[in-house]
Each structure stands twice: as C-alpha cells, then as structure tokens.
Amino acid sequence: MSAREVPDSQDPSGGRVVPGIDRDCDTDQWSPDLYEGKHSFVWKLAASVVELLAPKPGERMLDVGCGTGQLTARIAESGADVVGIDNSPAMIEEARRHYPQIEFRLADAHDFEFDGRFDGVFSNAALHWITDPNQVVACISRALTPGGRFVCEFGGDGNIRYLVAAIESASHRLLDKPAPHPWYFPSIAAFASVLERHKLDVTQAALIDRPTPLEGSDGLRNWVRMFGQYWLAQIPPDQHEQFFEQVEEISRANLFKDSLWYADYRRIRVIARKTHA
Ligand SMILES: C[S@@+](CC[C@H](N)C(=O)[O-])C[C@H]1O[C@@H](n2cnc3c(N)ncnc32)[C@H](O)[C@@H]1O
C-alpha cells in the first residue's frame, strides 16, 4: 500500500509532509530519547485503547501519530497488517529502528492519502497536536473502508487544566505577553460534530480524568521540556530555569502530592464507524 506520492528528500519511502507552522519537519520538536526515557506512560496507559480497536489477523490498520511505534507494534501482534504515520522524522526513525518489520511513513495527519482503504484507523495521544480537525478527520474518513472503525484517545476538554494555567501564567510573566496553549482539547459534542460531518458515526465517547504521576523530582519540568517546546522556543534559554521554577511554584498546590508531580490529564476516547452511505 503506498501513500500519495510527494517527493520528500527526508523520507525515502515516499510519505508526504505538508510544510507549515508546527507541521514542518525541519522544526522537529520531538525527542525520542526523552519520550521513551521519561514519558513511556503515554503508550503504557493506552493498551486498553488498542483493545477497543480489536484488530484481527489479516485486517489493514493505520496508526495516526504513531510516535516511536510501541502501540503500532501492539496492533501488529494481533496479526493485522499495520502502517504507522507521523510527521516527526526523529520519531519515525526511532520507530523504524525498533520495529523494522513494520511499515512507518513520514506523513502529516492533515494531508495524507493511501491507495487502498483500511479496516480501522487508530490514534493515541496525537490528535491534540493538530491544527485543523476538519482536515485530519476528512483524511481519516477517506482512508476507511465503509463500516470501518476509528478508535482514538487524546486530550479532551479540560485536559491539563492546572498545568496549562501554570505554564501560561509563567510564560506571560517572562515574555510580557500572553502565549495561550496551542492544543486542540475538544468536548465530546465538538469532536462528534466534526466526525459526523465526515461520515463517521460515533458509537462510544467518554471523557476520562486520568491524573498521571510523573517520574522523579524533575517530573514536571521534564514534562514541560518534552511537550512545552511551543513556550521554550519563545523564552530565551538563559531564562528556562526561571520558567521551570515558576511553573513548579504555581503548580505545587494542585499537582504535587505525596512527593510526586502529577499531570492532570483528561482524555477524550471515541469509537466511530464510517457510514456505508
Ligand atoms: C505523545 S506522542 C504519541 C505517540 C504514540 N501514538 C504513542 O501513543 O506513544 C504524539 C505524536 O503525534 C505526532 N504528531 C503530532 N502532530 C502530528 C501531525 N500533524 N501529523 C502526524 N503526527 C503528528 C508527534 O510527532 C508525536 O510522535
């Protein structure tokens, strides 16, 4: 199965990349080492989402925003034929290194197309990074065979409420201007209406509070290092330490318990079916 071909010097397998703000692979913000070393909870806590997908031998599956590929590999263990796509060259390279037997492509969730259709599309902890849900869901719907399923989990309405408030407040002080968070954290109603617009009927949807312990006394600042590049890129490096200290100070009352930092995650989990019409 091959993706719509767009010449891409960074990806010999021909996945496509759409240049643009926050999507350009030249500005890859992802560190596979920090992701796998300190944030493996992201895929470890999502094993049950793969169970909801329930892949079967011989089915064709697509993993959107596959990262370093651990859940793609979990899907492959079922005997399904799976392809992982991600727009980070570093994450795709690491996924290929771990699982050379699985097909991984460098491609953007906003603009991808494959020659054949998939029985299921899966996505974990990736869709809150997108900038245009309509474009992404249109691509997902187009990729699915009629009756095929879309199973996803990502940050929902109210996700990391305290953490975001602390980061926005600390960055405002240092930058002297507001820098509101860049993520897409929809309500069930908002996301369901996007899915329905693109011929995907929602069969299950939930918002799940999942306060998640972070690793070690540097857990909160490591989280910001990993996922807060939007702010770190704007704050001069010699002020990063001050930034981390302020985020910790503001967060302490709500996110530090029994000597552990927590991320106040709230996930949206959805199962939808492509209509036959
Ligand atoms: C937190 S990681 C999750 C990775 C994997 N799904 C997992 O559960 O371990 C988020 C991933 O989404 C990818 N991503 C973000 N925006 C994307 C986009 N527009 N197109 C494709 N991948 C994207 C990132 O590159 C990153 O690898």
For 144-171, what is each residue's pLDDT tens digit? 999 999 999 999 999 999 999 999 999 9
pLDDT of residue 144: 98
CA torsion angle 223 184 21 72 (round to 10): 70
CATH of the domain at 14: 3.40.50.150
Q: Which atom of ligand 1 is nearest to the CA of 123?
A: 6
Our mutation pick for probing the ligand 1 site, out of 88, 136, 159, counting the most ligand atoms within 8 A of Cβ, is 88
> Which residues of the chain fall below pLDDT 70?
1-27
Spell out which residues line ligand 1, taking CB within 6 angstroms.
23, 30, 42-43, 46, 65-67, 70-71, 86-88, 91, 108-110, 124-126, 129-130
This prediction has a pTM of 0.91
For every residue of 90-116, which 3-state class applies, written as one string? HHHHHHHHHCCCCEEEECCCCCCCECC
Rg over CA atoms, the chain: 19
Q: What is the pLDDT of residue 212?
A: 96
What is the pLDDT at residue 261? 98
111 CA distance to ligand 1 centroid (A)? 14
Give residue 27's pLDDT. Answer: 61
- The answer to whether position 120 is within a domain reads yes
Domain containing residue 269: 3-159+182-212+265-274
Residue 119 lies in a domain: yes
How many structural domains are present in the chain? 1
Chain centroid to CA 263:
16
Tell me, what's the pLDDT at 1?
46
Cα 182 to middle of ligand 1, angstroms: 15
